[in-house]
Amino acid sequence: MLQHELHHLQPSPRRGATAVEFAVIAPAVFMVVFGIFEFGRAFMAEHLLTEIARRACRYAVVAPAPNNTNAYITSNIIDPEMARYGMSGYAVDMCVTPYGTPLSTTGGNVADAVGFTQSPTGVVPGSAITVRISVPAERVSWIPPRFLAATGSACRSRCAFRMSAGSRDGS
């Protein structure tokens, strides 16, 4: 019995194997876990951008002149919301797509649509107002910027609403 107990007290020849296995596997496990966090943050940022673009677009459609200009909406709707969520360095594009022009023709290029810096009061019902917001990925990520800046990746969102006949006069 005594000899059996002494056998358990002697060091095993595989004593450091567990530490070596952990050292090999741990970096991969941590990268997967941090990757899950980063994808979650990216989805959250995209959702927030979509919600802010939707609010700004809706305000542009229903607000009476002169409170529906690009500058007014950016400074009173978009800027406070972006500051609330700690996002900076973003770009905002707003444009009006004339009635009868499919939104798909101006889908990725704001220059194809009619930009508005004044109140779009001459816009006819059926025209679409589009708001696009873009934030560089390094502004919403925990990954060091030197790794993301070279890729030019960004979180982007777009919202477009068509104006109805009574959307400007509150009816």
Kindly write down the DSSP assignment for every residue of 78-99, as one continuous string. IHHHHHHTT--S-EEEEEEEPT
How many structural domains comprise the chain? 1
Encode pLDDT of 39-87 as tens digits: 888 888 899 999 999 999 888 888 766 666 778 888 888 999 999 988 8
For the segment 143-166, the average pLDDT, to the nearest whole number, is 73
Residue 30 lies in a domain: yes
Give residue 48's pLDDT.
92
User: Does a structural domain hold residue 11?
Assistant: no
The yes-or-no verdict on residue 28 having pLDDT over 50 is yes
pLDDT of residue 160: 85
Q: Is 124 domain-assigned?
A: yes
Q: Is residue 111 part of a domain?
A: yes
> Predicted confidence band at 6 (pLDDT cuts at 50, 70, 90)?
low
Residue 10 located in a structural domain: no
**6 inside domain:** no
pLDDT at 32 over 90: yes
Residue 23: per-residue pLDDT:
92
CA distance 16 to 135: 47
Range of the domain at 119: 16-162
**What confidence score (pLDDT) does residue 54 get?**
93
First to last CA, the chain: 94
Report if residue 7 sits inside a domain: no
State the average pLDDT over residues 129-147: 79
Q: Is there a domain that residue 9 lies in?
A: no
Closest among 88, 84, 107 to 97, alpha carbons compared? 107
pLDDT at 110 over 80: no
Residue 62 to residues 67, 110, 159, 163: CA-CA distances in angstroms? 10, 21, 15, 8
Show Cβ contacts of residue 124 under 8 Å, excluding neighbours closer than 6 positions.
98, 99, 163
